[in-house]
Amino acid sequence: MNELNVYPEVTPGAKHMNAVSCGLKTFQSIHARTFSIGVEALGPVNLKGRNLLTLKDFNADEIKHLLWVSADIKHRIKHEKQYLPLLQGKSIAMIFEKRSTRTRISTETGFALLGGHPCFLTSQDIHLGVNESSTDTARVLSGLCDIVLARVNSHTTLDELVKDASIPIVNGLSDQYHPIQILADFLTLQEHYGSLSGLTVSWIGDGNNVLHSFMMTAAKLGVHLRVATPKGYDPDNSILQEAKKLSKQHGTQLLLTSDPVEAARGSNVLVTDTWVSMGQEEEKKQRIKDFHGYQITMQTAKVAKPDWTFLHCLPRKQEEVDDQVFYSSRSLVFPEAENRKWTIMGVMVSLLTNYTPQIRLPRF
């Protein structure tokens, strides 16, 4: 076990606790908390025209602003039944080198709901970097659309698009980061716990792109991060070094271990992801062997805090988390999936307009 930047534990206050017993045999429902409104204020934030390749490039106030806009749009459209054509007359090019359910549906429906026009482009429609260079593609799309969301095999493709595009580029997933997933995760946790600062998130699984995005975001929101990965499946070292700096800067804990139980100990949130990502199918047999003991079960949750919850970005395989956890009242996976829509809408509105949220700033 390697513990990094250890500070005295900041235990979430009563607002993070739910008066529910988590006995070995007693398992009662935890009801989502109402959306909490805070009194904190953000500094000046203007994200119009920015790219979103990684949340490493966004400071704490900017990330909170994205979550605030997302919560506001969700409230106004879903709960108040308002019509908000904030992106009327605008179009988005959606480049997908990898298949997707949540990223495609959330972006297409969300952009259209805001009055815009989504254009879906697969590798059969646009041979990015093959029939046409990334440079030329970026320039062409800049003249035809207002924003690009690209779900790509290599993060370098995004870097190439940004270099020559004159419109915002959004990372819909790359081999290094998955920032729009993490925004949905933190909106889900804010809605459930009422605030984020002081929570402890435990990642149990592969040192992949989703973990990398957690590492670039958690400390900025005051969230402690405990990570368990099998040996040989560690997060990228350069990203780990940046996470250490962020943890020290924001006074949070960062724990790195190969023991899933140690990572889960004292945690509010248990998180995992697929063990075999797209493009790693040939490694499946070896990976399942190497990840033995990493399945999240009720046994894992015994060492977590009484108010523990579970997240998974989906799609899920049973070897990663058993049915008892996945379909329990502690599982937030389906609200998490829905929030992919509201957060991508928040991102698009923030990068394309000067929109000011109408609800008060939530408590972060």
Are the beta carbons of 83 and 138 closer than 8 angstroms?
Answer: no
In the sheet with 200-204, reading across from the earlier edge strand, the strands are 2-4, 254-257, 224-228, 200-204, 269-272, 309-312
- pLDDT over 90 at 26, yes or no: no
- pLDDT over 70 at 29, yes or no: no
The pLDDT assigned to 279 comes to 66
pLDDT tens-digit profile of 60-84? 999 999 999 999 999 999 999 999 9
The pLDDT assigned to 2 comes to 47
Are the beta carbons of 297 and 274 closer than 8 angstroms?
Answer: no
The pLDDT assigned to 39 comes to 52
Task: Compute the average pLDDT of residues 157-180.
Answer: 97
Band (143; pLDDT cuts 50, 70, 90): very high
The pLDDT assigned to 127 comes to 72
Task: Compute the average pLDDT of residues 172-196.
Answer: 98
Higher-pLDDT residue of 279 and 78 is: 78
Average pLDDT, the chain: 90
Higher-pLDDT residue of 145 and 32 is: 145
Q: Which residues are paired to 23 by β-bridges? A: none
Taking alpha carbons only, the member of 312, 208, 317, 217 closest to residue 270 is 312
The pLDDT assigned to 34 comes to 43
Whole-angstrom distance, CA of residue 159 vs CA of residue 112: 27
pLDDT tens-digit profile of 335-356? 999 999 999 999 999 999 999 9
Task: Compute the average pLDDT of residues 109-113.
Answer: 98
**Angle at 341 (CA atoms; ends 336, 343), nearest 5 degrees:** 80
Whole-angstrom distance, CA of residue 16 vs CA of residue 304: 13
Are the beta carbons of 215 and 192 closer than 8 angstroms?
Answer: no
The pLDDT assigned to 273 comes to 95
Task: Compute the average pLDDT of residues 167-179.
Answer: 98
Band (278; pLDDT cuts 50, 70, 90): low
Band (20; pLDDT cuts 50, 70, 90): very low
Q: Is the pTM of this model over 0.85?
A: yes
Task: Compute the average pLDDT of residues 233-262.
Answer: 98
The pLDDT assigned to 31 comes to 39
* Cα 61 from chain centre: 17
- Annotated active-site positions, please? 313
Tokens 């739910």 found at: 18
- pLDDT over 80 at 107, yes or no: yes
- pLDDT over 70 at 244, yes or no: yes
Q: How far is CA 342 from CA 74, 99, 209, 286, 306, in A?
A: 6, 20, 21, 37, 29
pLDDT tens-digit profile of 6-17? 333 333 443 443
109 φ, ψ (degrees, to nearest 5): -70, -40
The pLDDT assigned to 40 comes to 67
The pLDDT assigned to 275 comes to 84
